[in-house]
Amino acid sequence: MTEPAAVGFAIPSASPFAGIRDAKAPPPADRPSPNQGLLYVEGVGKYYGDRIGCKDVSFDLWPGEVLAIVGESGSGKSTLLNLVCGRMVPTSGKVRYRESSGDLFDVHKLPEASRRRLLRTEWGYVHQNPRDGLRMRVSAGGNIGERLMACGSRHYGNIRKTGVSWLDRVEIDADRIDDVPVSYSGGMQQRLQIARNLVSAPRLVFMDEPTGGLDVSVQARLLDLIRTLVREMGLSVVLVTHDLAVARLLAHRLMVMRRGEVVESGLADQVLDDPRHEYTQLLVSSVLQG
Ligand SMILES: Nc1ncnc2c1ncn2[C@@H]1O[C@H](COP(=O)(O)OP(=O)(O)O)[C@@H](O)[C@H]1O
Ligand SMILES: [Mg+2]
Does the beta carbon of 275 lie inside 6 Å of ligand 1? Answer: no
Does the beta carbon of 48 lie inside 6 Å of ligand 1? Answer: yes
Establish if 61 belongs to a structural domain: yes
Boundary (domain end) residue, out of 169, 201, 233: 201
Does the beta carbon of 241 lie inside 6 Å of ligand 1? Answer: no
pLDDT at 79: 98
Establish if 12 belongs to a structural domain: no
Atom of ligand 1 nearest to the CA of 75: 22
**Pairwise CA distance, residues 76 & 254, whole Å:** 15
Q: Which of 98, 113, 131 is nearest to 236 (CA)?
A: 98
* DSSP reduced 3-state for 186: helix
**Pairwise CA distance, residues 197 & 181, whole Å:** 15
Q: Are residues 221 and 145 in the same domain?
A: no
Ligand nearest to the CA of 84: 1
Ligand nearest to the CA of 73: 1
Establish if 130 belongs to a structural domain: no
pLDDT at 290: 52
Q: Are residues 100 and 234 in the same domain?
A: yes
> What CA dihedral angle connects 18, 20, 22 and 24, to 10 degrees?
-120
**Pairwise CA distance, residues 249 & 239, whole Å:** 12
Establish if 127 belongs to a structural domain: no
The structural domain count of the chain equals 2
* Low-confidence spans in the chain with pLDDT less than 50: 1-8
Domain coverage including residue 194: 136-201
pLDDT at 4: 45
Q: From the CA of 72, how far away is ligand 2's center (Å)? A: 9
Establish if 3 belongs to a structural domain: no
Q: Are residues 208 and 116 in the same domain?
A: yes
Q: HEC string of 212-274?
A: CCCCHHHHHHHHHHHHHHHHHHCCEEEEEECCHHHHHHHCCEEEEEECCEEEEEEEHHHHHHC
Q: Are residues 279 and 236 in the same domain?
A: yes
Does the beta carbon of 79 lie inside 6 Å of ligand 1? Answer: yes
Does the beta carbon of 219 lie inside 6 Å of ligand 1? Answer: no
In single-letter form, the type of residue at position 143 comes to N
CA atoms within 13 A on the CB side of 267: 8
pLDDT at 286: 83
CA angle 223, 224, 229 (to 5 degrees): 95
**Pairwise CA distance, residues 29 & 272, whole Å:** 21
Q: Are residues 281 and 180 in the same domain?
A: no
Boundary (domain end) residue, out of 201, 226, 255: 201
Euclidean distance between the first and the last CA atom of the chain, given in angstroms as a whole number: 20
pLDDT at 1: 44
**CA nearest ligand 1 atom 24, residue:** 74
Establish if 26 belongs to a structural domain: no
Q: Are residues 168 and 112 in the same domain?
A: no
pLDDT at 2: 46
Q: Are residues 66 and 157 in the same domain?
A: no
> CB 238: neighbour CB atoms within 10 A?
26
Does the beta carbon of 50 lie inside 6 Å of ligand 1? Answer: no
Q: In this structure, what CATH number is given to the domain that contains residue 101?
A: 3.40.50.300
Q: Are residues 195 and 223 in the same domain?
A: no
Boundary (domain end) residue, out of 201, 236, 251: 201
Establish if 23 belongs to a structural domain: no
- Chain centroid to Cα 198, Å, comes to 12
* DSSP reduced 3-state for 11: coil
Q: Are residues 284 and 145 in the same domain?
A: no
**Pairwise CA distance, residues 124 & 81, whole Å:** 12
Do the bridges between strand 51-61 and strand 39-48 make them parallel or antiparallel, or are there none, so unpaired? antiparallel
pLDDT at 3: 45
